C-alpha cells in the first residue's frame, strides 16, 4: 500500500548522545540569552508536560506508604520492553524463557502510557542495545561482556517477517520496542549498554533539564535492568515508583520466592515505592488538565 507522506506522522527515533547534549546546551543557552520565553521549539515541546501539569499533586496508594508526586516534575520510564525480551523469536524466547511473564505487563503498561500522554507527562524509553562491532560490550573478561556473549549478543537471526536481524544490536528488529508500546513522536528513546539506564547515558542530564524529580517506572526485567535503574535513580535523589503489574522477571520465576517478589520487597523497603497501574491511572485522571 502506498503511504501518504503528507499525512503520516513522523517516526520517533533514538537520540544520539550528541543530539541530547545539543538539545540541553541549546535550551540552556536560550534561557541565559533571551529568558524562558524565548526557548527553541524543541525546548518548548519538552517543557510542555510541566506547563500542562503545573502544581498538580497526584496522590495514590503505594508501599510502604501512600505517596504524593508533583505531575509537573514527573516522567514515565519504560525499561527494555523490546522484542528481544517480550516477543517470540527474540533473545528470551530463543533461550527458552517463559516470555508470557513479560507479555503480561504489556497491557497495563500501554494503559499507563495512554493516561500519561493525556496528562502531558514525559515518556522516556530505555533500550538495551550494543553497537554492531560490540565495541561497547566491555573489556575482555568483564562480566558484562562474558554474560552477554553467552546469551548470544550479536548473533544473526531472522525476524518474524523474514528480515535479517541481530540479537541485542542497535537499530535492528531485536531492539525495537514491542509493537503494542511503540514510542510516539514526542517520546524520547535512549539506548543503554549496561543494566542501568543511567550508566554512560544522558538520562540524568535530560531528566535534570526537564525538571523531573519523580519517576514512574515500568518495564523488564524486574530484578535486573529495572532494579538497577531504580537503584541508580535513588543514588541521584530521584523518587521512583515501580508499577508492579507493569514489570516482570523471567529468571527465578519458579522459585518459592521469585526474583520478582524479592525485588519488589527491596525496592519498597530501600529504594522507592511500589504501586499498581490502576491506582496511579485513577489518581492521574482525577487531576485533570486545566
80 given a catalytic annotation? yes
Helical residues (DSSP H) of 41-122, grouped into ranges: 41-52, 83-86, 91-94, 100-103, 106-119
Beta bridge partners of 173: none
Give the Å distances, CA to CA, from 266 to 30, 227, 252.
42, 9, 16
Which residue in 262, 264, 275 sits closest to 214, CA to CA? 275
Active-site option among 122, 202, 225, 246: 225
The answer to whether the beta carbons of residues 95 and 234 sit under 8 Å apart is no
The answer to whether the beta carbons of residues 219 and 226 sit under 8 Å apart is yes
Q: What are phi and psi for residue 50, nearest 5 degrees?
A: -65, -35
Which residue in 103, 202, 90, 110 sits closest to 151, CA to CA? 90
Biggest CA pair distance of the chain: 60
The answer to whether the beta carbons of residues 43 and 23 sit under 8 Å apart is yes
Query: How far apart (Å, rounded) are the C-alpha atoms in residues 19 and 22?
Result: 5
Active-site option among 80, 84, 176, 202: 80
Beta bridge partners of 78: 125, 218
Q: Where on the phi/psi map is residue 121: left (φ > 0), alpha (ψ -120 to 50), or beta? A: beta
Element spanning 245, H or E: strand 239-248
The answer to whether the beta carbons of residues 247 and 216 sit under 8 Å apart is no
Active-site option among 73, 122, 127, 192: 192
192 given a catalytic annotation? yes
225 given a catalytic annotation? yes
Q: List active site positions.
A: 80, 192, 225
Amino acid at each position: 500500500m502506498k503511504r501518504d507522506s503528507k499525512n503520516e506522522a513522523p517516526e520517533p527515533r533514538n537520540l544520539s548522545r550528541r543530539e541530547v547534549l545539543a538539545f540541553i546546551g541549546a535550551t540552556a543557552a536560550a534561557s541565559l540569552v533571551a529568558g524562558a520565553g524565548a526557548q527553541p521549539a524543541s525546548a518548548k515541546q519538552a517543557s510542555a508536560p510541566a506547563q500542562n501539569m503545573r502544581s498538580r499533586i497526584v496522590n495514590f496508594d503505594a508501599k510502604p506508604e501512600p505517596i504524593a508526586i508533583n505531575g509537573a516534575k514527573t516522567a514515565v520510564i519504560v525499561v527494555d520492553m523490546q522484542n528481544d525480551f517480550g516477543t517470540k523469536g527474540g533473545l528470551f524466547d530463543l533461550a527458552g524463557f517463559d516470555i508470557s511473564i513479560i507479555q503480561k505487563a504489556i497491557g497495563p503498561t500501554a494503559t499507563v502510557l495512554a493516561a500519561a500522554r493525556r496528562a502531558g507527562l514525559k515518556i522516556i524509553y530505555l533500550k538495551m542495545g550494543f553497537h554492531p562491532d560490540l565495541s561497547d560490550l566491555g573489556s575482555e573478561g568483564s562480566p558484562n561482556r562474558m554474560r552477554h556473549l553467552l546469551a548470544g549478543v550479536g548473533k544473526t537471526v531472522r525476524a518474524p517477517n523474514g528480515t535479517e536481524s541481530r540479537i541485542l544490536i542497535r537499530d535492528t528488529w531485536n531492539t525495537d520496542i514491542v509493537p503494542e508500546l511503540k514510542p510516539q513522536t514526542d517520546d524520547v528513546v535512549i539506548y543503554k549498554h549496561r543494566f542501568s539506564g543511567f550508566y554512560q547515558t544522558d538520562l540524568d542530564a535530560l531528566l535534570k533539564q526537564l525538571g523531573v524529580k519523580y519517576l514512574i517506572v515500568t518495564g523488564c526485567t524486574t530484578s535486573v535492568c529495572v532494579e538497577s535503574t531504580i537503584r541508580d535513580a535513588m543514588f541521584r535523589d530521584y523518587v521512583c515508583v515501580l508499577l508492579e503489574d507493569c514489570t516482570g522477571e523471567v529468571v527465578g520465576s519458579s522459585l518459592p520466592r521469585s526474583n520478582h517478589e524479592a525485588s519488589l520487597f527491596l525496592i519498597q523497603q530501600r529504594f522507592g515505592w511500589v504501586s499498581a497501574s490502576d491506582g496511579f491511572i485513577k489518581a492521574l485522571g482525577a487531576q485533570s488538565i486545566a
